[in-house]
Structure 1
Amino acid sequence: MTGSVTAILLAGARPIPDPLAAAAGVAVKPLVPVGGEPMINRPARALLDHPAIGQVVILTQRPDLLAADSATGWLAAHPRVRFETGGQGIASSLLALLEAGDLPFPILLTTADHVLLDRAMLDQFVDEATGADIAVAMVERETLLARYPGSRRTWLKFRDGWWSGANIFWFGSDKARSVIALWQEVEQDRKKGWKILAAFGPFALLGALLRILTLRGGIARIGRKFGLTARLVAMASPEACIDADKPEDVTLIETILQRG
């Protein structure tokens, strides 16, 4: 799969000032310094350095700010990087890019605040997601707390554990469009797990509430509902679900980076 995966790096700017950006005195969150450089640089390099990744599409409302900044200007000059101007929603922006017809599958999507993204995470995710129409990376709570007992995440409980998102997604074929369209409908409620589950039908919602579904089984069942193969990738690296979302996250990430 050398160079065959299209990577999308989400570098959105909120319509309201981001607290991390405001505290750091920068215009948008992807420019917030983490470990001595804008947070977007590390996941961008991880993607560009991985042999499976071909082009990297940076989706942002403010490509001008990233291109003009001396620390991130290299992205605008890189031959395998292109900027696309996103709208207010991730899913609607993705659908627009797909409609344009120049975004080849498979697609790996991740975020500019995934500062700890590295080769090992990408190796596992690409290997396990390949062949699926949709895949999502998650970290089970015990995996995280075994190494970072003080880390606080948002967890969803299922029969096979408590799970938190790792901000890495896979769209393996054009069949993924139907799920992206549904994502567009519930995007404003993406932090509210039960509303997302409800969108997939009453059985999925009831199953989660009664804890009778495993997450793996639930994702596979949702895939079948849409006529596609959907897969959970349970990440081995606890760092996969640590993103730079709050000041305490940045502190933890910088500690991890200092340890190498």
Structure 2
Amino acid sequence: MAPAALVLAGSRPGAPDPLALAENVAHKALIEVGGVPMLARVVQALRQAGCETIAVSANEPAVVALAETLGCKVAPTGPGPSASVAAAFALLGAPMLVTTADHALLRPEWVHDFLADAPPTADVAVLLAHRDVVKRALPGTRRTYLKLADGGWSGCNLFLLANAHAQAAIATWAAVEADRKRPWRIAARLGAGTLWRYGLGKLTMAEAIGRLGQRIGIAAAAVPARDGLAAVDVDKPGDLTQVRALIG
């Protein structure tokens, strides 16, 4: 049986999401792709992957209503993603998958592959797609890549918090969010040795994630995505156009 799952669909403070405004909906999670709200697509993929317990972290009334209609628990939101994950982790416990409501292309086989490929000894695992795999799956897509010794890598909005030790990773995530305007503090968390290897161009993604885990006292693993489309979410109008074309 697949673990419980959390779908992040909270509203960030400040100006409304420009995509939601453009699509005339109250929240990006409600944008329809192929006639189905993105949140409903994500929940359906998780259910097909075997996730019996699904929570949606949301504070927009229309998103909360949809989550309840879909048979999901509603988890409280925090001031940032890490706080929302922490609240859901307290509610659902481990193991827990985490993804986002704008991951409209999510497929059950990606979840199956991720869980199968994650090392059984990992406390935390994160799905990442290599640039070559992404470009092969969707030429022309524009993603953000972190360049390391083994090439560029893009996040896939899919995480596994395998056991109680993952709490340390959530706490570190919160600290990184707090230091987002002080990048030197974030860099310091990696340690001098890791920064040295990165500067020399010798640090691979697997090594970077593993070393970060060691710094906070957990076993962390980077899991390469088998399908590059796993890195495609809906952040910009161009993403929405591509995702609609793929599903259509």
SS at match of 1:40: helix
Give the alignment of 1:102-251 within 5 angstroms: 102-129=91-118, 131=120, 132-187=122-177, 196-251=186-241
The change in CA–CA distance for 1:112 and 1:170 in structure 2 (over 3 A counts) is same
Matched with 1:59 is: 57
* SS of equivalent to 1:169: strand
Q: Contact 1:59/1:84 (CA < 8 Å) preserved in 2?
A: yes
CA distances 1:197-234 after superposition (whole Å, capped 9, x unpaired):
44322332332233211111121222223332211110
Q: Distance in 2 between matches of 1:127 and 1:194?
A: 36
* Kept in 2: contact 1:194–1:205 (CA 8 A): no
Give 1:33's aligned residue. Answer: 32
RMSD of Structure 2 on Structure 1 (CA): 2.2
- Does the CA-based 8 Å contact 1:139-1:165 persist in structure 2? yes
The answer as to 2:32 corresponding to 1:42 is no
Match of 2:81 in 1: 90
Deviation at 1:94, TM superposition (A): 2.4
Report the more deviating stretch, 22-31 or 123-132.
123-132
Distance 2:240 2:130 in 1: 21
Does residue 76 in structure 1 map to residue 73 in structure 2? no
Where do 5+ consecutive residues of structure 1 fail to align? none
Identify unmatched segments of 5+ residues in structure 2: none
CA offset at residue 33 of structure 1? 1.8
Kept in 2, the 8 Å contact 1:137–1:234? The answer is yes
Return the offset for 1:61: 2.1
* Cα offset, 1:191, TM superposition: 11
- TM-aligned CA distance change 1:84 to 1:174, over 3 Å: same
Structure 2 contact 194–208 (Cα < 8 Å) conserved: yes
* Count of aligned positions: 246
Partner letter of residue 235 of structure 1?
A
Q: Give the structure-2-normalised TM-score.
A: 0.91
